[in-house]
Structure 1
Amino acid sequence: MTTTGSTSGPSPKNIPNETFRPFKPKSPPAWLGPSLLMAKIIAQSAECAPFPHVQGAFGTIVVVLETIEKVKNNRDDLEELCGDVIEIMKILQGQVSSHGTTAAVKFKSVCEEFESVLQDVLKELQKLQESPRGLCGHVKRMVKSRSTADKISEYQRRVQALCLNLKLMAAVDTNFQVHKIDRTLTALAPNLHVPQVAQSINTCPLPSRIFQGRQTILAKMHQYFAEDLMKQHIYVLYGLGGAGKTQIALRFIMDSATKFSDIFLIDTSTAETIDAGLKSIANRKQVGDTAQDALDWLCSNKNGWLLFFDNADDPQIDLHNFLPPCIHGNILITSRNPQLRGYGAYSLVSDMEETDAVELLLSSAAPLEVTLENRDTAFDIVKVLCYLPLAIVQAGAYILRSGSLKNYLTLYNSNQEQLLKERPTQSHGNYAWTVYTTWQLSFNQLSQPAAMLLQLCSLLHHEGISESMFKDASLYKPQTSGPSMEELEMPHQFLSQFLHNGIWDSLQFCNVTNEIQAYSLINFDATRNLFSIHPLVHNWSRNTLTHVGLYHSCMASIVGMSIDQIPEEDIELASISLLPHIYPLLRGDHLVTPDFRAHYGRVLYYGGKYTEASKLLADVAEKQRKLNGDDHPQTLLALENLALTFHSLGQFNEAAELQSKVLAKRQRDLGEGHQDTVLAMNNLALTYRWLGRYKEAEELQILTLEKQRKIKSVDHSTTLHAMHDLALISRSRGKFRVAEELQVLILEKRTAKFGVDHPSTLQAMGHLARTYHYLGRSKEAEKFQIVVLEKRRKVLGENHPDSLRALKHLALTYDNLSEFEKAAPLQIMAIEMLSKILGENHPDTLLSQNSLAQIYCGVGQLQDALKLQSMVLDKWRSISGPDDPNTLHAVSNLAVIYQNLGQLQEAEKLQSLLFEKRNEVLGRDHPDTLHTMYNLATCYQQSGQLHKAMELQSVTLEEQSKVIGEKHPETLRTMNSLASIFWDLGQLKEAEELQMKRKLTTNTPGEF
């Protein structure tokens, strides 16, 4: 093999032509000279401006470029690195031609960090080896290294962002002429692209360094301003002070600065500042010196300017007078006044998304270590701050100063007002006010009626505030048994401001609420016709009260006066909306008269809060007794209301005792025919029903209905209520058809009067469904119960006791239909919620557990059924006694479980005892007694006592056919059982005849 020279290694001809480049020294590239000169000029110019850090950064660039210029070999390998450095330098140069004095401080940190990177680059250059290959490898390693590449990329990104930010700063006169630098650079490096700056920019601060989130609003704004609308673009950001409207606007402007030829910021807080801002535009554009000159110039200029009206909060300023009357241009408005939405597109700026709020808090509190524990604590903090940006930033500043994230919540709970008033010494933006002071400024602009309305509303719940509450209160007439005129003087004076000739003036109320809405201190939901207040504003407004007790008494009286006007048939529906407002008014030691406290107790009762109602009404009864004596009508009314809560809590003996006393005193003082006496009779009859005293209950309720028909009309709500209660008692006595007839009539009348969604209508529908259940018409019951459950959840809420009763009744119907997979989860849910709301020992909870034990038995989970039913029986015995109907029902269920387990002796013993008690208390013809007879007969059959079984089951069938009818499922079941007994006895003819009769009755084949 021959060689062409002594050099070892592969020959050049073996290397691909496209990769072989012989080393040749190169002259400096064309871009290097102008770039070096540009860096020197900027560095020298910066000496005359308030930017020493710019001089430092560009001085380092000069050194770097001079070093590169001295490198004689393989300079192409440096172009990738130098390209990045020069690009950043060009961007920085753009800032020199557009900076304002406020940019100096904000620009300092990036320049210093950029200088630090350049120093690292310089060190690498100084280490370059003389060898071309060494040079190439070292530079490439340095350029490609992750740390250097990442730094250059990061600083390039940050400087480009600052380029957009700094365009918003006003150009200032300095000791050097920037435009001369621009011309010099253009002459030296005509091919260099220098970022263009908007031609004219008013002083405009940057968005906060810790700006977070709001991407949905920003995306909507970008899309809107990008559309060709063939008209002026106007976008309004409105919302509560401190919600971050201006920050969103500044962020949008920063991100979109290159899209606008000019950006003008106008302080819109007063008409004077608007006029001054427009004059500034006219002066800057040298088109005149008046606001009209500026508007004329804007109308004539179609280059895509942006006019930013910030803080257009004063509702007395007609902003239309300051808008350029043309069909081009872009206008951005921030305001607390929602009425400005009418100018164009808009976004409500309210609370932040939770994750964004957490990031804002952690950024505000930096350099706090971001651990999982700290992040969880941050979630808790932003939640109590209601995700309001300004409150979060203030909290972050305090945490930064104190160094403790964990202690903030504890401090906030006891020092909320102080913390939300405190202005941070180190801020992240230019906002001058704290959370509380920004709202105080708005509050100071309100008229006296508006300010008082806001403060009174701060004593209610922050949501669900209605005009009707105040309107109804204005209709209240002082009563001899109620508060005196002196006690109601302040409420009357306040409400009189909304009366015209003694009639409620909704327009005046609307004017006042609009005044408050103009500052976003209150919000209005037109769909629900309700007002709400931001929770933090709500707390702040309450803290503005100097006479808390006086205002509290006033608002408590207004609510009491309002409740007094609610008709009895509407009180349950009204209680759902009133309930949240009752709790704050009952807190503390502020005066609420006994009469109005009784009204509050009614709201609690109908709202399903029986325990709270019981405590309040017991207190009312005691106060009335001390004030008026034992026999006073107000004392008796308080005792009657208290008895109703005892009844709803399942304390039937206590309820009966009170109701008997009230009835006796009313019969003595008012007579048998008085409305109050009749109502007392009605209440006592219902309690007798729950105590199992069915006969007494029926006699008393029949008398009640007769008297009610005489006092009121047949269709009056109180008459229908008495009829409804008689139907319940009739059903408890086994008179299912009587109950059905009454309930069908009640449902028709209530539907016609109140509509299908009214609680009274749903009550009638639910009880009719239960009667269908007892009549064996479970499919009809199911249809009604599904409707009742859905509507009660919608009207009353999922956790209202009536909703939970509907849930357990539907589950019971599914159980009767043997649809156990539907029944079990519903009943379990009902038990969990009833236990939580009414208690584990409440009758409704225990009845649901009874039903669940039956379901377990139906699906063969006999041990679970036995355990649950035994527990329920023990509770019934201890709470209600051994002879209570519910106790006996639990005994019946337990006996059936024993029977299914094959423990026939235990089952027979229980069933025999149960038959004796039910026969004695209810009578032989009661459906519950007949049910027990059936179970006892099947027990006899299973244990081989066939003749006893036949005799008892024959009697059962005969009685059931009379009482509940031959087609009732329980009658048919008894028929099938008796045929089975005949079969076991060998009496085949009797068995076949009975089965044929059953088949003809139901078209159903025999089952045995």
Structure 2
Amino acid sequence: MQDESKGLRGRVKEFLKSSSLRDEIAGYQTQIQGVCSKLKLTAIVETNFKVDEIHAIVTAPSFAVVKAAQNINNCPPPSRIFQGRQAILDKMHQFFNTDSGEQHIYVLYGLGGAGKTQIALKFIEQSSFSNVFFVDTSKVETIDTGLKGIAVTKSVGNSAQDTLRWLESNHNKWLVFFDNADDPKINLNDFLPKCNHGNIIITSRNPELRSYGAPTLVSDMEEADATTLLLQRANKEPSEENLKLATEIVKELYYLPLAIIQAGAFISKSEDLGGYLALYHSNRARLLSEKAAQSHDDYAQTVFTTWQISFNQLSHLAATLLQLCSFLHYTGISEDMFSTASKYEPRSWSPPREELEKPLQFLSRFVDPTGEWNSLKFLAVTNEIKAYSLISFDTKTKLFSIHPLVHAWSRSTLLDEELLQSCMSSILGMCITEIPYNEIELASVQLIPHIVLLKGVNPDGGADFRNAFWNIYHNAGKFQDAQGIAQQVVEKSRLLLGEDHRNTLLAMGDLAQTYWGLGEFQKAKELGVLVWEKRTKLLGEDHPDTLFAMGDLASTYSRLGEFQKAKELEVLVLEKYTKILGEDHPDTLSAMGNLAHTYSDLGQFQKAKQLEVLVLEKRTKLLGEDHPHTLLAMGNLASTYSDLGELQKAKELGVLVLEKRTKLLGEDHPHTLLAMGNLASTYSDLGELQKAKELGVLVLEKRTKILGEDHPVTLLAMETLAITYSNLEEFQKAMELEVLVLEKRTKILGVDHPDTLRAMANLAVTHYTLGDLNKALGLEVEVLQKRRQLLGDKHPDTILAMENLEATYQELSQQEEMEELEQLIEDTKKLLL
């Protein structure tokens, strides 16, 4: 009776499930596959059938291709214009083809629009799994629906748990593709089959899902693949011109696949490949938000809308932090910038806390009631942003970065751009104010990209932290920018506080330092003298501000060739600093290093060496060997070793300084270029001329680009390279540079400056080598006369000038002049013994 109650349809179903029928079906499968093989067709048939499926197989014509198992549960094919990603695909194939005896789980994670889904679909298309199931993992509801669908399709039940049980018991080569597992609130582990077999691919924006299996970060495409993809989507031939234009476009799009697809779609419609970049620069937000009418895949979002979806999931605090970071450079963002700012205490020259309500309110969200910065609170917020790959973190450098296009997009989300820009500007100013003096140089390298971008948006935004920003510009070698700020501060201070106010004098001292950095030494001297006189009168000669002014003025005297004046001031400054601050204080060591430099200028190299060895020992002990001040001492000692002819020691130190400065400061920083130029000079002296030439050319190119060809250090680079050309016997190249250096130094520094006289002497040597003896003679007579007058007969440079002139007299057979000069050289050297 029970059997009859099942009805005919029920009894048929039972019969169809019998083992004998399954065997018969297997036989049909073999026959069908054999026919298809003969026809060079592939028939992929599932091992479990519903009634309708059997009917389809039995009644289908023998040449029909049976629907692939991989299309079960609507797993779509990859884009028809899929390009590249071969390294990731190879890695996936290797992973899934390795018999590890446990479940294979592969996680593709990264920014929305990076192409994670397409890579997974391409891999599936290239593979041969017995069953492939696609699950939309964006919501709990879609996961549940997807898993239920598998149960129904496989006739194993009608719930997600039925599917998981079936997968756990099924040892065939199945694969489940969990796509778009982006919501960090979903615990994906609840939906994974608990077994030691089977295959799973997960795509997600959330890096935390890396822990589920073998992870690969999906980021930007290779340039060649990106260019091909753009041209394919744009329906453009890969001609030489089109490839060049496409390369520029994909660079501007930072090789992000979805952005490239959108650009190609727009170009396909406009048919103007060459005009796209101009439109993009003025309409970026619109172009990256525009969905093409025709597409090559099922992805429904544009670049900007796909990130907006993630942004909408962020808390208000996380969204605000991301928006604030859109005013910084997209790399090198640190927690320290915010934590240091939270410690802000106003100075006499910085804004009061009353003017900083908004930034202080924001920072207070990461501060404990005790006033201490809470890194755990900051970590929770950054982790929230990282969960959508809108920001990334480098565990080695401890720095955050944002994809450049996300960085641009996040600015487009602002409702009150001026308020947020002002807030970020103030946070940076507060941070700089709290950085200790001996750390400011290194900090300037890290902060300058942020300040340049921030001030490019709105130069006057935020509270008045111009003094702080001047400090960063100056220490980063951005002297033109520093000059503009320093002049503004001086004018404002004079107007509000008066000529003699301490803050006005501090601003004037900053401006004098900026003139020094720009090579405008006469301006620096005039302002430096004024500041020193006023500080001495108002504060006394032992006040730190007065001593600082004396030290700055002494350095200016040195650059102007007034070495004796420089020495007198520096000896006094060193004595006072040692007495007041002690010999280990940073200001004392700076004074010691400055005096040593002047001793070198005066030719007193042994005195310079003694001081420089002491400074280096103390700075290494107090600051460590990687600190910029330690490296400055190391570089100065290397130069003195070179002056003393201890070239191997000079080379060893010079190589070390260059390596460390390049790593710490970057290869374009003034101190790095100084180290590079000094090492090039040492290589030249050692006869390693090719090394000297390569470094010398690089230094000259960078200094010309950064500072201009009239800057003193650019001219020094020209001079050093010219010497190397002479040593390589490329005398014409040497002479061209030397003539240029002499012309510029005469115009800028005057004919009596030591640097001008050195340029004159170098050119005279080249004329001598080329046989232009009369030209050499004229220059050498003038050099000797001026050096005797300025430096005295005992100075090494004066003696060198005597010896050069003597050699020229000999070549010209001017015996009487030669013998007279020879006697003078001999007498002078006796006095030095």
What CA distance in whole angstroms lies between the structure 2 residues aligned with 1:907 and 1:298? 93
Q: Aligned letter for 2:316?
A: Q
How high is the TM-score relative to the length of structure 2? 0.91
Partner of 1:121: none
Say which SS state the counterpart of residue 887 (structure 1) adopts.
Answer: helix
For the 8 Å contact 1:785–1:809, the answer to whether it is kept is yes
How high is the TM-score relative to the length of structure 1? 0.76
Q: Are residues 1:392 and 2:265 paired? A: no
Q: Aligned letter for 2:555?
A: L
What CA distance in whole angstroms lies between the structure 1 residues aligned with 2:302 and 2:67? 37
Q: Aligned letter for 2:346?
A: P
After superposition, where does 1:35-54 map in structure 2 within 5 Å? none
Q: Are residues 1:381 and 2:249 paired? A: yes
What CA distance in whole angstroms lies between the structure 1 residues aligned with 2:574 and 2:509? 19
Partner of 2:96: 225
What CA distance in whole angstroms lies between the structure 2 residues aligned with 1:878 and 1:310? 70
For the 8 Å contact 2:50–2:155, the answer to whether it is kept is no
Residue deviations 1:362-387 (CA, integer Å, cap 9, x gap): 22122x34432222211111111111
Q: Are residues 1:464 and 2:306 paired? A: no
What CA distance in whole angstroms lies between the structure 2 residues aligned with 1:544 and 1:300? 49
1:489 to 357, 363, 381: 357
Say which SS state the counterpart of residue 265 (structure 1) adopts.
Answer: strand
| Offset of residue 628 of structure 1 | 3.1
Moved more, 472-481 or 278-287: 278-287
Structure 2: stretches of 5+ with no match in the other structure:
1-34
CA gap 1:172/1:403 in 2 versus in 1, 3 angstroms: farther
Q: Are residues 1:180 and 2:55 paired? A: yes
Residue deviations 1:752-803 (CA, integer Å, cap 9, x gap): 1222222211111111111112222222222221222222222222222222
For the 8 Å contact 2:366–2:373, the answer to whether it is kept is yes
Q: Are residues 1:681 and 2:633 paired? A: no
Partner of 1:114: none
Partner of 1:269: 138
Q: Aligned letter for 1:87?
A: L
Q: Are residues 1:777 and 2:777 paired? A: no
| Offset of residue 674 of structure 1 | 1.0
Q: Aligned letter for 2:349?
A: S
CA gap 1:289/1:862 in 2 versus in 1, 3 angstroms: closer
Say which SS state the counterpart of residue 465 (structure 2) adopts.
Answer: helix
CA gap 1:427/1:931 in 2 versus in 1, 3 angstroms: same
CA gap 1:687/1:594 in 2 versus in 1, 3 angstroms: farther
What CA distance in whole angstroms lies between the structure 1 residues aligned with 2:253 and 2:737? 46
What CA distance in whole angstroms lies between the structure 1 residues aligned with 2:754 and 2:601? 10
Structure 1: stretches of 5+ with no match in the other structure:
1-82, 99-166, 966-1008
CA gap 1:711/1:346 in 2 versus in 1, 3 angstroms: same
What CA distance in whole angstroms lies between the structure 2 residues aligned with 1:590 and 1:539? 19
For the 8 Å contact 2:532–2:549, the answer to whether it is kept is yes
2:466 to 594, 597, 609: 597
1:442 to 310, 316, 319: 310
| Offset of residue 818 of structure 1 | 4.0
What CA distance in whole angstroms lies between the structure 1 residues aligned with 2:172 and 2:529? 88
1:249 to 92, 110, 120: 120
For the 8 Å contact 1:549–1:590, the answer to whether it is kept is no
Q: Are residues 1:553 and 2:422 paired? A: yes
| Offset of residue 421 of structure 1 | 1.1
Count of residues paired in the alignment: 798
Partner of 1:847: 716
What CA distance in whole angstroms lies between the structure 2 residues aligned with 1:936 and 1:575? 47
What CA distance in whole angstroms lies between the structure 1 residues aligned with 2:306 and 2:766? 69
After superposition, where does 1:627-642 map in structure 2 within 5 Å? 627-642=496-511
After superposition, where does 1:292-307 map in structure 2 within 5 Å? 292-307=161-176
Residue deviations 1:723-780 (CA, integer Å, cap 9, x gap): 1001111111121111110000001111112222222111111111111122222222
Q: Are residues 1:837 and 2:706 paired? A: yes
Q: Aligned letter for 2:250?
A: V
What CA distance in whole angstroms lies between the structure 1 residues aligned with 2:693 and 2:71? 73
1:618 to 477, 487, 511: 487
Say which SS state the counterpart of residue 487 (structure 1) adopts.
Answer: helix
What CA distance in whole angstroms lies between the structure 1 residues aligned with 2:730 and 2:75? 74
For the 8 Å contact 2:423–2:462, the answer to whether it is kept is no
Partner of 2:26: none
Q: Aligned letter for 1:210?
A: I
| Offset of residue 722 of structure 1 | 0.6
Sequence identity of aligned pairs in percent? Answer: 51
Partner of 1:39: none
What CA distance in whole angstroms lies between the structure 1 residues aligned with 2:179 and 2:155? 24
| Offset of residue 600 of structure 1 | 1.8
Q: Are residues 1:87 and 2:7 paired? A: no
Q: Aligned letter for 2:326?
A: S
CA gap 1:659/1:328 in 2 versus in 1, 3 angstroms: same
Q: Are residues 1:404 and 2:272 paired? A: yes
Partner of 1:889: 758
Q: Aligned letter for 1:393?
A: I
Partner of 2:110: 239
Q: Aligned letter for 1:656?
A: K
What CA distance in whole angstroms lies between the structure 2 residues aligned with 1:640 and 1:594? 22
RMSD: 2.5
For the 8 Å contact 1:675–1:711, the answer to whether it is kept is no
What CA distance in whole angstroms lies between the structure 2 residues aligned with 1:758 and 1:364? 52
| Offset of residue 530 of structure 1 | 0.7
For the 8 Å contact 2:616–2:630, the answer to whether it is kept is yes
What CA distance in whole angstroms lies between the structure 2 residues aligned with 1:539 and 1:463? 13
| Higher relative contact order, chain-length normalized (CA < 8 Å, sep 6+) | 2
What CA distance in whole angstroms lies between the structure 1 residues aligned with 2:142 and 2:732? 82
For the 8 Å contact 2:228–2:238, the answer to whether it is kept is no
Residue deviations 1:173-214 (CA, integer Å, cap 9, x gap): 9xxx553342256xx96xx89768439921222211111111
Partner of 2:129: 259
CA gap 1:377/1:940 in 2 versus in 1, 3 angstroms: closer
What CA distance in whole angstroms lies between the structure 1 residues aligned with 2:182 and 2:37? 46
Q: Aligned letter for 1:784?
A: L
CA gap 1:863/1:540 in 2 versus in 1, 3 angstroms: closer
What CA distance in whole angstroms lies between the structure 1 residues aligned with 2:612 and 2:463? 37
Partner of 2:7: none
Partner of 1:644: 513
What CA distance in whole angstroms lies between the structure 2 residues aligned with 1:330 and 1:828? 57
Partner of 2:597: 728
Say which SS state the counterpart of residue 216 (structure 1) adopts.
Answer: helix
Partner of 1:37: none
CA gap 1:181/1:945 in 2 versus in 1, 3 angstroms: closer
What CA distance in whole angstroms lies between the structure 1 residues aligned with 2:156 and 2:415? 53
After superposition, where does 1:622-771 map in structure 2 within 5 Å? 622-771=491-640
What CA distance in whole angstroms lies between the structure 2 residues aligned with 1:241 and 1:852? 50
CA gap 1:370/1:668 in 2 versus in 1, 3 angstroms: same
Larger Rg: 1
Q: Are residues 1:212 and 2:83 paired? A: yes
CA gap 1:327/1:825 in 2 versus in 1, 3 angstroms: closer
Say which SS state the counterpart of residue 84 (structure 2) adopts.
Answer: coil
Partner of 1:338: 207
For the 8 Å contact 1:483–1:593, the answer to whether it is kept is no
CA gap 1:265/1:863 in 2 versus in 1, 3 angstroms: closer
Partner of 2:11: none
Q: Aligned letter for 2:95?
A: Y
For the 8 Å contact 1:398–1:424, the answer to whether it is kept is yes
| Offset of residue 847 of structure 1 | 2.2
Q: Aligned letter for 1:685?
A: A
Residue deviations 1:909-929 (CA, integer Å, cap 9, x gap): 333332222222212222222
What CA distance in whole angstroms lies between the structure 2 residues aligned with 1:205 and 1:197? 12
Say which SS state the counterpart of residue 353 (structure 2) adopts.
Answer: coil
Partner of 1:934: 803
